[in-house]
């Protein structure tokens, strides 16, 4: 790792420019490669940017920043996940700038006692009292927030034993329906202990099992005509669904490696999450050198064999390895890996559940790593130089724009325009156009309208691009040629036509007006830049189209959604607690309902609410 005196010392502006706004955990390294600080953030770019302001009041922060030689980030799905993952990394690395959390005995826990009527409490220090301890948590605030949440979901006492023994009548917590009042023997022992068991399951992350038990109890109460009891259980299910946050960095799997793969514009990243002791203990990005036209399955197989066969002596393979669906011949590969590694490791490709959530998180981190690579200034400069050679330009390309069209069977057509400069995507100048007044599905007319609206005042505003990319073949390119044919200095027009198999690397480039065609090698840096811009235009158009489609369907009900019959409607309402909970549920929560696949969950999500 470079020293601070090197020319390659840590470049904060370059690093922050390409950092994601998603929540996550960051690790700061010194020039010896040691982790010196671990932190969490709701917005990684904003949080890390605060360290590098010109005026920093904290002496500790000033000293910390002087030691930074590198920063690594791990993206999470939520701030709550970042909080738990931060604790795992602090325990593992024990960085010297996290001095307040170095001693394990200082970590706070949630404690459930071993009494006849157990209590839930905050605990810090030596574990002398009998019972179960859940944690550790990074700080006391996290424990207190969790205790408040548990009190809303499960009416179990949180009072001191002395207060509990002195009661002769129910307290205010019982009147607020946050305690069953075991102090005065209002509930039976079995009824109270059932709530304690549910609270323990919830703390272990087994949320679906908790909901399943509550649903079963609610149905039994309805069958016994105990409607008041059924209503209480219904409210408890609704509260659980409303406040629970799916945690993808702490679960019930003791030992597991999770692999995520993402490829874009010539970069390939394999991200590995290492789960030990039911929590993420580390993560790392690998950027293998991949020959052109290599299949995803070959990349994964080569990585797995090289990684697990070259482990240091004494390192044991995990019990499970979760991999993407692109790995082919899973049974054969399982046998092969077991025979050469001399361990009983299992390679899995989950379709749903907790393992699936872990894999989605690994893929998310791999995508973030690739997009950070794509946005670095050195990468952009080398690719712009390659594009200049293709265009045979003497002057540098300063501005590139690209158009794409998105619609569903001709409805809610949206055109996107993305802008790139020498530093990469210039998102503040992205534009979308809702296309109206054309025949549904007429992409040529949609392109003509988008060009007219985009460049109507471009000359006087001095924002004419040097290069204009058109995602499509000769038909779409013709619309651009027609629009710019009378301009004295039109931009360079370049159509990007997909190959026969529509695979990246097989695109044909068509020059406007001359109609000269070029097919670049799949590993050409200029082609990678064109692919990156084209994919960004496609993503931006798809997002806009989905938002527009969702607005049209925002008054939809479950009965109007295709493939959602009576049984699935019943499951959705039962497991999520009601129609409002279904409308506000995430795609992951919808996909966890029995009978609802991931693709159907996405359909329901976009039909019921505006993203």
CA distance 113 to 270: 44
Average pLDDT, integer, range 25-53: 91
Residue 177: which pLDDT band, with cuts at 50, 70 and 90? confident
- Per-residue pLDDT at 292: 61
> Lowest-pLDDT range, 77-86, 140-149, 218-227, 581-590?
140-149
Of the two residues 251 and 46, the one the predictor is more confident about is 46
Of the two residues 129 and 494, the one the predictor is more confident about is 494
Q: What is the 3-state secondary structure (H, E, C) of 136-188?
A: CCCCHHHHHHHHHHHHHHCCCCCCCHHHHHHCCCCCHHHHCCCCCCHHHCCCC
- Per-residue pLDDT at 435: 93
Residue 336 pLDDT more than 60?
A: yes
Average pLDDT, integer, range 428-445: 91
In the three-class reduction of DSSP (H, G, I as helix; E, B as strand; rest coil), residue 449 is classed as helix
User: pLDDT tens for residues 112-166?
Assistant: 998 889 999 888 777 778 888 876 554 566 678 778 877 777 888 989 888 888 8
Give, for 425, the enclosing helix (H) or strand (E): strand 424-425
CB 333, CB 42: distance < 8 Å: no
- Per-residue pLDDT at 99: 43
Residue 104: which pLDDT band, with cuts at 50, 70 and 90? very low
CA distance 341 to 334: 11
Of the two residues 311 and 473, the one the predictor is more confident about is 473
Question: Which domains, ranges and CATH numbers included, belong to the chain?
Answer: 12-102 (3.40.1440.10), 105-205 (no CATH), 255-375 (3.30.420.10), 377-550 (3.30.420.340), 553-608 (1.10.150.20)
CA distance 58 to 38: 17
CA distance 140 to 46: 25
Length of the chain: 611
* Long-range residue pairs from 202-210, CB within 8 A, at least 24 positions apart, any chain: 202/150, 202/153, 202/154, 202/240, 202/244, 203/110, 203/134, 203/150, 204/134, 204/252, 205/247, 205/250, 205/251, 205/252, 205/354, 206/252, 207/240, 207/244, 207/246, 208/592, 210/240
Residue written as token pair 């007219």: 452
Q: In sequence order, what are the residues at sequence separation of 6 or more whose Cβ sits closer than 8 angstroms to the Cβ of residue 603?
A: 561, 562, 563
Give, for 588, the enclosing helix (H) or strand (E): helix 587-591
CA distance 521 to 535: 18
Looking from the CA of 92 toward its CB, the CA atoms found within 13 Å total 19
DSSP state at residue 84: H
- Per-residue pLDDT at 509: 92
DSSP state at residue 456: T
Average pLDDT, the chain: 81
Residue 1 pLDDT more than 70?
A: no
Residue 526 pLDDT more than 80?
A: yes
Residue 72 pLDDT more than 50?
A: yes
Looking from the CA of 170 toward its CB, the CA atoms found within 13 Å total 16
Average pLDDT, integer, range 62-82: 87
Of the two residues 152 and 247, the one the predictor is more confident about is 152
DSSP state at residue 281: E
CA distance 487 to 364: 44
* pTM, full prediction: 0.49
Average pLDDT, integer, range 297-302: 83
CB 361, CB 246: distance < 8 Å: no
Average pLDDT, integer, range 471-491: 90
Residue 247: which pLDDT band, with cuts at 50, 70 and 90? very low
CB 302, CB 278: distance < 8 Å: no
Residue 36 pLDDT more than 50?
A: yes
> Lowest-pLDDT range, 119-123, 208-212, 390-394, 607-611?
607-611
> Lowest-pLDDT range, 73-87, 185-199, 310-324, 396-410?
310-324
Which ranges of 291-407 would DSSP assign to H, the alpha helix? 296-309, 330-341, 353-375, 377-391
Residue 100 pLDDT more than 50?
A: no
Question: For residue 534, how far is the Cα from the chain centroid?
Answer: 23
Average pLDDT, integer, range 489-512: 82
Residue 611: which pLDDT band, with cuts at 50, 70 and 90? very low
Residue 46 pLDDT more than 90?
A: yes
Query: Could you tell me what percent of the chain has a pLDDT over 70?
Result: 85
- Per-residue pLDDT at 162: 87
CA distance 329 to 309: 19
């Amino acid at each position: 790792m470079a020293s601070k005196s090197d020319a390659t010392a840590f470049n904060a502006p370059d690093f922050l420019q390409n950092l994601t706004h998603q929540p996550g955990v960051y690790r700061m390294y010194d020039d010896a490669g040691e982790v010196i600080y671990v932190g969490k953030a709701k917005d990684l770019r904003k949080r890390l940017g605060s360290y590098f302001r010109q005026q920093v009041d904290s002496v500790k922060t000033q000293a910390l920043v002087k030691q930074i030689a590198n920063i690594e980030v791990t993206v999470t799905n939520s701030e709550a996940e970042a909080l738990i993952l931060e604790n795992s990394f602090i325990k593992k690395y024990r960085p010297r700038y996290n001095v307040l959390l170095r001693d394990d005995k200082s970590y706070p826990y949630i404690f459930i006692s071993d009494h006849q009527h157990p209590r839930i409490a905050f605990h810090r220090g030596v574990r002398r009292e009998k019972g179960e301890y859940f944690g550790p948590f990074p700080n006391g605030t996290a424990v207190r927030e969790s205790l408040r949440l548990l009190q809303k979901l499960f009416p179990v006492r949180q009072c001191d034993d002395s207060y509990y023994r002195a009661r002769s009548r129910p307290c205010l917590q019982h009147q607020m329906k946050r305690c069953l009042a075991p102090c005065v023997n209002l509930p039976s022992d079995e009824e109270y202990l059932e709530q304690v068991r549910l609270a323990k399951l919830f703390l272990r992350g087994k949320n679906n099992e908790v909901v399943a038990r509550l649903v079963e109890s609610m149905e039994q109460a309805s069958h016994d005509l105990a409607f008041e009891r059924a209503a209480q259980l219904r409210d408890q299910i609704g509260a659980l669904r409303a406040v629970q946050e799916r945690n993808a960095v702490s679960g019930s799997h003791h030992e597991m490696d999770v692999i995520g793969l993402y490829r874009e514009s010539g970069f390939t990243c394999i991200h590995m999450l290492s789960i030990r002791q039911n929590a993420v203990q580390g993560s790392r990005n690998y950027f293998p050198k991949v020959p052109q036209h290599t299949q995803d399955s070959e990349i994964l197989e080569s990585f797995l064999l090289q990684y697990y066969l070259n482990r240091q002596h004494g390192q044991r393979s995990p019990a499970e390895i979760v991999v993407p669906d692109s790995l082919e011949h899973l049974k054969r590969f399982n046998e092969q890996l077991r025979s050469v590694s001399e361990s009983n490791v299992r390679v899995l490709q989950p379709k749903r559940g907790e393992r699936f959530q872990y894999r989605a998180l690994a893929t998310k981190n791999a995508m973030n790593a690739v997009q950070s690579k794509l946005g670095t200034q050195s990468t952009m400069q080398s690719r712009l130089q390659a594009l200049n050679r293709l265009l045979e330009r003497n002057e540098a390309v300063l501005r590139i724009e690209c158009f794409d069209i998105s619609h569903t069977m001709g409805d809610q057509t949206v055109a996107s325009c993305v802008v790139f400069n020498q530093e990469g995507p210039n998102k503040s100048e992205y534009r979308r156009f809702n296309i109206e007044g054309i025949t549904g599905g007429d992409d040529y007319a949609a392109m003509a309208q988008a060009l007219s609206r985009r460049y109507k005042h471009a000359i006087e505003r001095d924002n004419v691009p040097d290069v204009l990319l058109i995602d499509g073949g000769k038909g779409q390119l013709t619309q651009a040629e027609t629009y710019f044919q009378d301009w004295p200095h039109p931009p360079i027009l370049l159509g990007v036509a997909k190959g026969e198999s529509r695979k990246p690397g097989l695109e044909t480039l068509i020059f406007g007006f001359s109609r000269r065609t070029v097919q670049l090698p799949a590993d050409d840096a200029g082609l990678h830049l064109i692919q990156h811009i084209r994919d960004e235009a496609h993503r931006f158009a798809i997002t806009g189209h989905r938002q527009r489609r969702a607005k049209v369907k925002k008054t939809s009900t479950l009965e109007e959604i295709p493939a959602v019959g009576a049984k699935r409607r019943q499951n959705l309402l039962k497991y999520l607690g009601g129609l409002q909970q279904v409308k506000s549920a995430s795609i992951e929560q919808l996909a966890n309902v029995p009978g609802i696949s991931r693709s159907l969950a996405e359909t329901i999500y976009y039909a019921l609410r505006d993203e």
